[in-house]
Each structure stands twice: as structure tokens, then as C-alpha cells.
């Protein structure tokens, strides 16, 4: 760990919104992003005129931050266009708070939008374009499915090393679905059994299609200000107590140990900054792009020992009524997953801490852990969020 | 759409030991990536080994990732390794059927992605000892691995 800076309690998430989640035919990703941004600002009692900081990333468009600034009519003093995949929105937190503390800006809009489900250029076409723009002569000749095979290789190794079973992986999908059934905004709410997951269409062994996240449309936006200002705004502030980002590799063949992610480092730094540990956390949102992710992150973030993720989830711990509420919106597996999911899970944590989560509300939710993942288990961003009582 | 891997079993991979001494010296004026790929196309597997710290690295780089030294040297590895992980990708029969994608740990201490060929039942087990081979097709030459007997 390098650097001893802390952003603990310095800033808060003051407004959140999603837009176009599920299917949004006929809309562009920028249109969805703009809707979510406007709603997030309105949630905070702010307008675009108050925004002088911008953090945004696109999975396909170069110079996306300038397109967003132009579209929203912003002239930001602070821009973070960091693109580390699905962990980007969470990785944006600490740098944005440092900029707020330094006086570079007064309100940072973090926003993302995608029409991955309904866009004319679908994932397959995008995949072909990416292989041209970002050729990889070491992996592409072997035709791994991007990104499923990378995660499947991690799952296979975890099964080999720790005896993890496909049933245990399936339990992650079933728990997510049970949460989704409590969330009217979730995309997939129908019944799902362990047997359904095991019998689902094969994708890249040991992962079947129900081990893989959804492909939906959707936009997410949230607004950060310093804590002093946050207290004068419309909603109860959700404070950022810890935030850290770690990278370990890009391509899966360069990951040092496929059973251990850089969440160990990002988690340790975020916990240290927040002054809390895993046992203090009331509600957890981790990026479940694939069922193996949830096991790896629960282990690497200290909710169970390395290798015990499978038996931990098999006990029913992470579903509704379990000992550790995980992915309470239904996650990327059953709620929403428009390419990069980090912003959406952040918003679910904020809703839980505000007590706005309806039938899926976790009682006495004061401390939330959010964790984003990007690439092929490549980038890991952890943050600890808390209510005013946790300051 | 995912590009179909070239048919692995219909071609006869060239034995690694026989191929590796056949080729002229690669063009060292090129960068490490082209140097590596050019040697591979000619049937020689090269691996970088740092002349300063002695450690191997893959993929090839313009510096040593272990000690920051410039211009890591090249060696011809043993070609032997162990399957670290494996996934079988589902594909329709008419598109060529299922195929495996493996990560192989070479004995020199580096990991790379590849296919295991000549393994009955498509999915080679983790721990399988394998040896590098070259597989030629109209699309070029690529590195694959074949079982050499036993699990590690």
C-alpha cells in the first residue's frame, strides 16, 4: 500500500438516479445518460449549472468525456475519464473527493449510459471492432469468449483448488434472483432454481448462461459534494468513508493467481481508510458479472476465508433473510447490466443506506461495502459508504 | 461473432523438438512482439529471459517487468508445461463444435493461453503435463500443446 492520504467522511453522495434500465429501444446511450444525470441532480436539489466536475467512461467511444460535457453543456474544471472497465465509477470516488477537497471543483457528476441490449451495433459487432482496435496476438488466436472464458478459467481453477462446485456457483445466481424478486426495477424476476442454473445453456465451462450477467440497457448517475455542502442538500448524505482502486493485469493469462484478485488490496485500503472491517458491514454490493465473481470478492474482501466462498453461499448466507445481504437489487445477474455495472451497484447501496429499498430493505443498514470489477478480473475498486451515524 | 479457431485435430502439428532448430535467426531490428511472432511463424518458440535478473517473462516486452532492465534476452524454452486451468467453449456442431481454451504454465515460470490438442474428450484436466507444438494452417502458425503423459 502506498500513500497515507484519507478521504474519510470528506464527501458524500448527495443524489442518485438510474434511467432506461432493461430495454430502452430507440434511445441512445447519451440520451439515457442525460436522463439519469438530470434525475440524480434533481434528487440532490441541484441542476447542471451546479456541476463543475465530471467523471465518465465509455466502453467503446474515445474522448467520451468531451462528448458528455458538450451534450450536458458542462465546462468542467475537473474531468476524470479513467476507463478501467466496470470498476470505473467506483474508482472515480477517491480522485473526485481529492479534487473537491483541493477546491478544484464543488460538485462532481459521475455518470454512465449504455444501450448494449438494443443498440444497432450489438456486443458481437463491438467485439469484432475491439479485436481490430486492440489486437491481442497472445490470446485471440485461441478464440476465448470475451469476457466469459476468462472468468470460466478462474472458476475452473477455484473448483480444482478448493473443491468449489457448480451447485455452489449456482447458489449465487439463485440468491441474486431471490433479491430481484423483491425489486420491482429488476429485469429478471421469474423463478430460478439450482437445477435451472445447472441445466441452462452452456457458454464456457464451467459457466452456463445463468452464471453470466444480463445484457441490458441502462444509465446510472450520482453526484458528489463535500460533506459540509451535502448537509444542506435535499437528501440525507451518504458519506464515502474509504475508497481505493487496484489493478493486477489486463489479459487473464497475465493474472498471477486466478483464485486471488486485487480486491485484496483495494479492500484492505478501503477498510483501513474507513476504520472498519468486514464484520462491521451491514450490506454488500459486489460486481457479479459472473457467479464466480461473488465468491472471489467475498473471500478477498474478508467475508469468508479463501476457498470457502462456495460453502459460505451454499448456507444461504447471501440471499434474503441470510446473515450477509449481498447484491440486494438482484445484481448484474438478475437486475441490470448494461456493459459496466459499477454505478448501478453504487446506487443500490445508497438506496439501502437511505432506507429507500422497499421490500428488499436491509434493516439497520448503516455501513455498505461496494465493489467494482473491470476487464478480466483486472481492475478492482472498493469503497465503504456510511450514514451520518458512522462518521 | 467469435472467430472460429482453426481445426486443430485435422492438421498434424509439427513436433516441437524437430521444428525449433529449422529457422534462420529472427530479425532483431524489430520490436519484441514482432520478433516473437516472426519466430513463431517460422516454428520456433522464443521466450524472453532477462540478462540482468535471469527471470523469464511473457508476453514479450521492451523491458524487463521484474527488474526494469532494457532489452531482455531471448532463449528457446523446453516447451514443457502444465495445464493451469481449462474451459471448454460451447459452439454449434455446424460451426466446428466445442473447443478448449487453456492456460499453460511453462516450466520456465510463465503462463500463456493456448489449446490442448490430441486429448480425447476435449477437456484436458488441470495439472496435465503438456509439450508445445506448432500447428500450421492457411491463417498462419500457432502454438498449441499436446499431452506428454501424466498429471502433476
Interface test with A, best of B41, B58, B85 (most A CBs within 10 A): B85
B93 touches chain A (CB under 8 A): no
Q: Is B145 a member of any domain?
A: yes
* Same-domain status, A188 and A228: no
- Judgement on whether residues A282 and A337 belong to the same structural domain of the protein: yes
Alpha carbon of B22: minimum distance to chain A alpha carbons (Å): 23
Q: Which chain A residues contact residue B2 at CB under 8 A?
A: 127, 143, 145-146
User: Are A311 and A278 within one domain?
Assistant: yes
Q: Which residues of chain A have pLDDT under 70?
A: 1-3
In a domain, A137, yes or no: no
Residue B6 has pLDDT above 50, yes or no: no
Residue B8 belongs to a domain: no
DSSP string, A271-320: HHHHT--GGG-SEEEE--SBHHHHHHHHHHTTSS-TT-HHHHHHTTTTST
* Candidates A128, A132, A143, partner chain B, best to mutate (most B CBs within 10 A): A143
How far is the C-alpha of B128 from the C-alpha of A204, rounded, in Å?
20
* B22 falls within a domain: yes
Task: Tally the domains of chain A.
Answer: 2
Sort out which chain A residues have CB atoms less than 8 A from B92's CB and list them: none
Do A161 and A259 sit in the same domain of this protein? yes
Confirm or reject contact between A258 and chain B (CB < 8 A).
Answer: yes
Q: What is the pLDDT of residues A309-318, one digit of tens each?
A: 999 999 999 9
Chain A hits for B134, Cβ within 8 Å: none
**Do A114 and A169 belong together in one domain?**
no
Q: What is the pLDDT of residue B22?
A: 40
Specify the pLDDT at position A3.
63
Crossing angle of the two packed helices A263-274 and A291-300, in degrees rounded to 10: 50
Cα separation, B12 vs B138, whole angstroms: 13
Using the beta-carbon criterion (under 8 Å), do B85 and A138 form an inter-chain contact?
Answer: no
Nearest by Cα to A251 from A81, A134, A159: A134
What is the reported pTM? 0.94
Per DSSP bridges, beta strands A367-374 and A379-386 are antiparallel
- Averaged pLDDT score across all residues of chain A: 96
Would the pLDDT of B3 be above 60?
no
Q: Is residue B86 part of a domain?
A: yes
**Residues A204 and A225 reside in one and the same domain:** no
In a domain, B5, yes or no: no
C-alpha dihedral over A7, A245, A127, A292, to 10 degrees?
-120
- If one counts the domains in chain B, the total is 1
Residue B37 lies in a domain: yes
**Region B73-100 average pLDDT:** 97
Evaluate whether residue A2 is within a structural domain: no
Residues of B in contact with A157 (CB under 8 A): 84-85, 126
28-87 in chain B: CB under 8 A from chain A? 33, 37, 58-59, 84-87
Check pLDDT > 60 for residue B9: no
B4, B90, B123: residue with CB nearest A143: B4
For residue A314, what are the domain limits?
146-213+242-390
- How many Cβ atoms are within 10 Å of A368's Cβ, its own excluded? 29
Tell whether B114 lies on the interface with A, counting CB pairs under 8 A: yes
CA distance B117 to chain A (A): 12
Statement to judge: residues A234 and A247 lie in one domain: no
**B2/A127 CB distance under 8 A:** yes
Q: A185: closest CA among A42, A331, A34?
A: A331
Q: Are residue A174 and residue A265 in the same domain, yes or no?
A: yes
Of A144, A152, A160, the CB nearest to B126: A160
| Closest-approach residue (CA) in chain A for B141 | A141
Q: How confident is the model over B99-135, as pLDDT tens digits?
A: 999 999 999 999 999 999 999 888 999 999 999 999 9
In a domain, A186, yes or no: yes
Number of A–B residue contacts, CB under 8 Å: 83
Say if residue A45 is in the same domain as residue A171. no
If asked whether residues A207 and A335 sit together in one domain, one would say yes
Give the pLDDT score at B7. 36
Q: With an 8 Å Cβ cutoff, are A160 and B85 in contact?
A: yes
Tell me whether residue B107 is in a domain.
yes
The answer to whether residues A234 and A258 belong to one domain is no
Asked if A172 and A232 sit in the same domain, the reply is: no
User: Which set of grid coordinates corresponds to residue A272?
Assistant: 483501513
Q: What is the CATH number of the domain that holds A188?
A: 3.40.47.10
Mean pLDDT of B65-89: 96
Which ipTM did the prediction report? Answer: 0.95
Range of the domain at B64: 14-151
What DSSP element (H or E) covers A373?
strand A367-374
Do A287 and A346 meet the contact criterion of CB atoms below 8 Å apart? no
Q: In this structure, what CATH number is given to the domain that contains residue B112?
A: 2.40.50.140
Best of B11, B95, B101, B110 to mutate (most A CBs within 10 Å, chain A): B101
In a domain? residue A185: yes
Give a yes or no: residue A373 inside a domain: yes
Task: Please confirm whether the linkage preceding B71 is cis (ω < 30° from 0).
Answer: no
pLDDT at residue B71, rounded to an integer = 82
Q: Is B3 on the interface with A (CB under 8 A)?
A: yes
In tens, the pLDDT along B33-46 reads: 999 999 999 999 99
B2 domain-assigned: no
Q: Is the distance from CB of A289 to CB of A144 less than 8 angstroms?
A: no
Contact A156 B87 (CB under 8 A): yes
Question: Is the CB of B89 less than 8 angstroms away from the CB of A127?
Answer: no
Domain contains A310: yes
- The span from the CA of A316 to the CA of B52, in Å, is 52
Cα separation, A256 vs A249, whole angstroms: 8
Contact A202 B1 (CB under 8 A): no
Residue B4 clears pLDDT 60, i.e. is over it: no
Amino acid at each position: 500500500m502506498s500513500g497515507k492520504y484519507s478521504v474519510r467522511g470528506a464527501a458524500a453522495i448527495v443524489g442518485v438516479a438510474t434511467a432506461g434500465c432493461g430495454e430502452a429501444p430507440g434511445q441512445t446511450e447519451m440520451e439515457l445518460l442525460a436522463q439519469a444525470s438530470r434525475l440524480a441532480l434533481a434528487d440532490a436539489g441541484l441542476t447542471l449549472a451546479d456541476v463543475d466536475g465530471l467523471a465518465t467512461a465509455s466502453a467503446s467511444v474515445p474522448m467520451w468525456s468531451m462528448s458528455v460535457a458538450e451534450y450536458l453543456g458542462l465546462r468542467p474544471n475537473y474531468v476524470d475519464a479513467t476507463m478501467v472497465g466496470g470498476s470505473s465509477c467506483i474508482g472515480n470516488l477517491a480522485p473526485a473527493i481529492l479534487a473537491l477537497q483541493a477546491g478544484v471543483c464543488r460538485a462532481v457528476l459521475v455518470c454512465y449510459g449504455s444501450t448494449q441490449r438494443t443498440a444497432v451495433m450489438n456486443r458481437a459487432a463491438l467485439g469484432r471492432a475491439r479485436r481490430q482496435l486492440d489486437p491481442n496476438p497472445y490470446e485471440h488466436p485461441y478464440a476465448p469468449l470475451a469476457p466469459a472464458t476468462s472468468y470460466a478459467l478462474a472458476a475452473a481453477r477455484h473448483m480444482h483448488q478448493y473443491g468449489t462446485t457448480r451447485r455452489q456457483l449456482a447458489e449465487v445466481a439463485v440468491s441474486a434472483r431471490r433479491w430481484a424478486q423483491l425489486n420491482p426495477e429488476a429485469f429478471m424476476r421469474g423463478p430460478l432454481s439450482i437445477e435451472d442454473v445447472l441445466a441452462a445453456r452452456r457458454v464456457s465451462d464451467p459457466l452456463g448462461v445463468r452464471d453470466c450477467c444480463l445484457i441490458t440497457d441502462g444509465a446510472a448517475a450520482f453526484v458528489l459534494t463535500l460533506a459540509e455542502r451535502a448537509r444542506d442538500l435535499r437528501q440525507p448524505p451518504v458519506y464515502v468513508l474509504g475508497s481505493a482502486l487496484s489493478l493486477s493485469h489486463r489479459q487473464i493469462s497475465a493474472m498471477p493467481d486466478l483464485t486471488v484478485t486485487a480486491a485484496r488490496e483495494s479492500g484492505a485500503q478501503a477498510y483501513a481508510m474507513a476504520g472498519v472491517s468486514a464484520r462491521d458491514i451491514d450490506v454488500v454490493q459486489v460486481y457479479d458479472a459472473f457467479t464466480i465473481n461473488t465468491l472471489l470478492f467475498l473471500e478477498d474482501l474478508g467475508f469468508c476465508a479463501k476457498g470457502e466462498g462456495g460453502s459460505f453461499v451454499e448456507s444461504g448466507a447471501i440471499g434474503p433473510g441470510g446473515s450477509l445481504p449481498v447484491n440486494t437489487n438482484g445484481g448484474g445477474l438478475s437486475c441490470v447490466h448494461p456493459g459496466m455495472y459499477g454505478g448501478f451497484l453504487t446506487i443500490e447501496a445508497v438506496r439501502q443506506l437511505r432506507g429507500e429499498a422497499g421490500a428488499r430493505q436491509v434493516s439497520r443498514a448503516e455501513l455498505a461495502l461496494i465493489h467494482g470489477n473491470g476487464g478480466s478480473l483486472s481492475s478492482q475498486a472498493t469503497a465503504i459508504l456510511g450514514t451520518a451515524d458512522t462518521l | 461473432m467469435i472467430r472460429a479457431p482453426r481445426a486443430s485435430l485435422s492438421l498434424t502439428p509439427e513436433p516441437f523438438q524437430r521444428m525449433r532448430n529449422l529457422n534462420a535467426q529472427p530479425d532483431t531490428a524489430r520490436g519484441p512482439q514482432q520478433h516473437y511472432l516472426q519466430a513463431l511463424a517460422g516454428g520456433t518458440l522464443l521466450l524472453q529471459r532477462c540478462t540482468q535478473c535471469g527471470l523469464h517473462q511473457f508476453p514479450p516486452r521492451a523491458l524487463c517487468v521484474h527488474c526494469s532492465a532494457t532489452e531482455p534476452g531471448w532463449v528457446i524454452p523446453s516447451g514443457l508445461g502444465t495445464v493451469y486451468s481449462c474451459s471448454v467453449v460451447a459452439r454449434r456442431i455446424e460451426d466446428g463444435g466445442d473447443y478448449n481454451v487453456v492456460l499453460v504454465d511453462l516450466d520456465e515460470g510463465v503462463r500463456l493461453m493456448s489449446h490442448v490438442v490430441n486429448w480425447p474428450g476435449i477437456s484436458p484436466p488441470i495439472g496435465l503435463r503438456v509439450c508445445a507444438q506448432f500447428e500450421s494452417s492457411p491463417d498462419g502458425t500457432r502454438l498449441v500443446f499436446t499431452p506428454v503423459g501424466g498429471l502433476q
